[in-house]
């Protein structure tokens, strides 16, 4: 059994986009996780979801790993992006699109624009 920091590092390294969240992308277990997973799903982003509720070591480990106190946590190409508020702001400002473009992450640009239009 690998320890939590190793498991977290390996998961982040193995996937372009990872969301550490409460629940799964198909069944989020908190509003903040639901919002971030919803944005990624709506934009058609392929991402790995890690349910922190399934493993207390991962739940605490990801907070220690990122030095960030809350979940969800989004990683793109190994870099910590942020939690719900940051991802929401980046989506609305277009910064998330730029991040995806820079990291060659496929997403639906029209869907991203629709999110911005709906929140304008």
The predicted structure's pLDDT at residue 1: 67
The predicted structure's pLDDT at residue 19: 98
pTM over cut 0.85 = yes
Percent helix / strand / coil, the chain, rounded to 5: 55, 15, 30
Instruction: Please state the domain count of the chain.
Output: 1
Enumerate the known binding-site residues for [2Fe-2S] cluster: 30
Model confidence pLDDT, tens digit, residues 54-79: 999 999 999 999 999 999 999 999 99
Q: Is 92 exposed, middle or buried (0-12, 13-18, 19+ CB in 10 A)?
A: middle
Enumerate the known binding-site residues: 30
> What is the residue range of 20's domain?
4-118
Q: Which residues of the chain have pLDDT under 70?
A: 1
Q: Which CATH number do you get for residue 93?
A: 3.40.30.10
């Amino acid at each position: 059994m690998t320890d939590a920091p190793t498991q977290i590092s390996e998961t982040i390294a193995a996937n372009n986009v990872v969301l550490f969240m409460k629940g799964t992308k198909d069944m989020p277990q908190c509003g903040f996780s639901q919002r971030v997973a919803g944005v990624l799903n709506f934009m058609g982003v392929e991402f790995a979801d890690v349910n922190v509720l399934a493993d207390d070591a991962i739940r605490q480990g990801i907070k220690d790993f990122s030095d960030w106190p809350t979940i969800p946590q989004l990683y793109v190409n190994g870099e910590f992006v942020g939690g719900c508020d940051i991802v929401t702001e980046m989506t609305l400002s277009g910064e998330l699109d730029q991040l995806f473009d820079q990291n060659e992450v496929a997403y639906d640009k029209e869907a991203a624009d629709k999110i911005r239009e709906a929140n304008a």
